[in-house]
């Protein structure tokens, strides 16, 4: 399983995003994507969470919002079972 944070602000550089994540203690990779990928995955708002299994199938989709520790744990278990 890979956890990847993706920034949707086209004005921020990959270096800026990486440093921002390190300053907050994030241990997963952070990146930027082009608009075509955001459209392909139907990302319409910040903080969209998408879980993709090892077969490339979307098994989780969640929009903007704060999620509990328990919710994140459930998602990670779901994704690890599909890995």
pLDDT at 4 (0 to 100): 66
* Percent above pLDDT 90 for the chain: 1
Whole-structure pTM over 0.75, yes or no? no
Query: 76: which residues sit within 8 A by CB, 6+ positions away?
Result: 1
Alpha helix positions (H), the chain = 14-23, 35-40, 69-81
pLDDT at 23 (0 to 100): 92
pLDDT beyond 80 at 67: no
Average pLDDT rounded to a whole number, residues 10-20: 83
> Which tens digits make up the pLDDT trace of 20-57?
888 988 887 787 777 787 788 787 777 778 888 888 88
């Amino acid at each position: 399983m890979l956890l990847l944070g993706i920034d949707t602000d086209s004005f921020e550089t990959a270096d800026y995003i990486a440093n921002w994540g390190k300053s907050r203690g994030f241990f997963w990779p952070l990146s930027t994507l082009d608009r075509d990928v955001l459209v392909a995955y139907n990302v319409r708002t910040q903080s969209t969470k998408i879980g993709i299994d090892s077969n490339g199938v979307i098994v989780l989709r969640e929009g903007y919002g704060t999620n509990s520790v328990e919710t994140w744990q459930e998602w990670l278990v779901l994704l690890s079972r599909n890995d």
